[in-house]
Amino acid sequence: MLTHVAAEVAFGLENLGTPPGEIRAQAAAALASVGAAHLLERPTSALSGGELQRLCLASALALRPRLLLLDEPTSQLDPEAAAAFLDTATRTGAAVVISEQRPARPLAHAFRVVFLAGGRIELDAPIADAERWLALHHPSFLGPQPELPAQSDEVSSAPLLTCRGLSFAYADGPPFALPELELRRGEIVALVGPNGSGKSTLARLATGLLEPRTGKIERLGRAGLLLQDPGRYLVTERAEEEVALGVGGDLGRARQQLARVGLAGFERRHPRDLSSGERERLALACVLVTEPEVLVLDEPTRGVDPERKDELARLLRVEAPRRGTLVVTNDDVFAAQVADRTVSVGAGRGEPALV
């Protein structure tokens, strides 16, 4: 990744021998097509997860390819951007192959569906046949399955977490305001808002990883944070050791926790050899094992397939009475499925609320 957004999008065009006079306009057009025109002059190190994903998509679209291979292109895009991107991709005239864990939107655009499981092609069929087959064999891929434990009725009255009047500024960025937030034991709150609106920032403030510029945060008990890109922070050579790090090396507790997130049998696997969904669940185990009172999960469904998402929703609901849970998510279906209520961040499209 180059240091600036404009250079990153221009890189591929330069390699294709695009006349220098045309590069900037083409790069700007590609960024605009994914709602990222405002990022042109930004350093790549100062982008949110979804802003980075938009940049990568713009870099691919700028080359005007005839074949677009997209591996979970919308996993970090907010719902509006995800819908817009799929429209854009299908209007390029390219043949488009998309692998997706949020399949509802791509299914609406697809002509054909290939279903892979355990390294085998289980289905290769036109869309209408595929939808019938999915309804029968993997209904979660058509929509979340409803039999979740009822939403919490045991919400305690004293908040575990209160954020009031918060604002924050990154080193070279403008100050922006964040919404009021209260979280009580027993409830699951979804934090939603456009890419770049400040959701991850609020998650870090709430768990004490960042200090606010103004405002007050009150927290009772221990906080645990699952980061938006947890794969980057795994340090040991075995999944069980990674989880045991949080509990003084207790491998017994680590194994139990791995089983709770559906990773029994993965104890001795190298964290870096896991799929992104498995890594996401490993990172979740690392946080859950410490039994935090305030649990903050930043994009916990990234790379997680719909059946595992249903399981994750069930796990969070079953465990909800033990703590307060804040789920930061761009996955609107998951938010509706898991949360008791929703708090929105940001002023509007893709901008934090400036103060």
Ligand X SMILES: Nc1ncnc2c1ncn2[C@@H]1O[C@H](COP(=O)(O)OP(=O)(O)OP(=O)(O)O)[C@@H](O)[C@H]1O
Q: Catalog residues that contact ligand X under the rule CB under 6 A.
A: 46-51, 76, 78, 170, 173, 193, 195-201, 228, 330, 352
Instruction: For residue 338, give every residue at least 6 positions away whose Cβ sits within 8 Å of its Cβ, in sequence order, or none.
Output: 148, 188, 190, 312, 313, 316, 317, 327
Nearer to Mg ion, 199 or 302 (CB): 199
Nearer to ligand X, 320 or 327 (CB): 327
271 binds, among Mg ion, ligand X, none (CB under 5 to 8 A by kind): none
Nearer to ligand X, 113 or 225 (CB): 225
CB 212 to ligand X: min, Å: 13
CB 41 to ligand X: min, Å: 12
Mind giving me the DSSP string for 159-173? Answer: EEEEEEEEEE--TTS
Q: Which stretch binds Mg ion (CB under 5 A): 83-91, 107-115, 220-228, 258-266?
A: 220-228
Among 200, 325, 329, 337, binds Mg ion (CB under 5 A): 200
CB 48 to ligand X: min, Å: 3
CB 93 to ligand X: min, Å: 28
C-alpha angle with apex 278: 281 to 270, nearest 5 degrees?
110
Where does the chain show beta strands of DSSP type E? 67-71, 95-99, 112-117, 120-126, 159-168, 176-177, 181-184, 188-192, 214-219, 223-226, 294-298, 324-328, 341-344, 353-354
Nearer to ligand X, 12 or 194 (CB): 194
Q: Does 75 bind Mg ion (CB under 5 A)?
A: no
Phi-psi sector, 53: left (phi>0), alpha (psi -120 to 50), beta = alpha
Helix pair 5-15, 49-62: axis angle to 10 deg? 20
Say if residues 306 and 277 touch (Cβ distance below 8 Å).
Answer: no
Residues 227-246 that bind Mg ion (CB under 5 A): 228
Say if residues 271 and 234 touch (Cβ distance below 8 Å).
Answer: yes
Nearer to Mg ion, 202 or 254 (CB): 202
In Å, how far from its chain's centre is CA 285?
Answer: 17
Nearer to ligand X, 117 or 354 (CB): 354
51 binds, among ligand X, Mg ion, none (CB under 5 to 8 A by kind): ligand X
Nearer to ligand X, 33 or 330 (CB): 330
CB 192 to ligand X: min, Å: 9
CB 352 to ligand X: min, Å: 5
Instruction: For residue 17, give every residue at least 6 positions away whose Cβ sits within 8 Å of its Cβ, in sequence order, or none.
Output: none
Say if residues 269 and 281 touch (Cβ distance below 8 Å).
Answer: no
Nearest to 310 by CA among 286, 333, 285, 343: 333
201 binds, among Mg ion, ligand X, none (CB under 5 to 8 A by kind): ligand X
Nearest to 75 by CA among 37, 49, 112: 49
Nearer to ligand X, 77 or 315 (CB): 77
CB 217 to ligand X: min, Å: 16
Cα separation, 130 vs 72, whole angstroms: 19
186 binds, among Mg ion, ligand X, none (CB under 5 to 8 A by kind): none
Nearer to ligand X, 48 or 74 (CB): 48
Cα separation, 335 vs 78, whole angstroms: 12
173 binds, among ligand X, Mg ion, none (CB under 5 to 8 A by kind): ligand X
CB 28 to Mg ion: min, Å: 25
CB 174 to ligand X: min, Å: 9
Q: Does 49 bind Mg ion (CB under 5 A)?
A: yes
State both tokens at 223.
Answer: 């906080």
Say if residues 352 and 198 touch (Cβ distance below 8 Å).
Answer: yes
197 binds, among ligand X, Mg ion, none (CB under 5 to 8 A by kind): ligand X
Question: Would you tell me which residues interact with Mg ion (CB under 5 A)?
Answer: 48-49, 199-200, 228
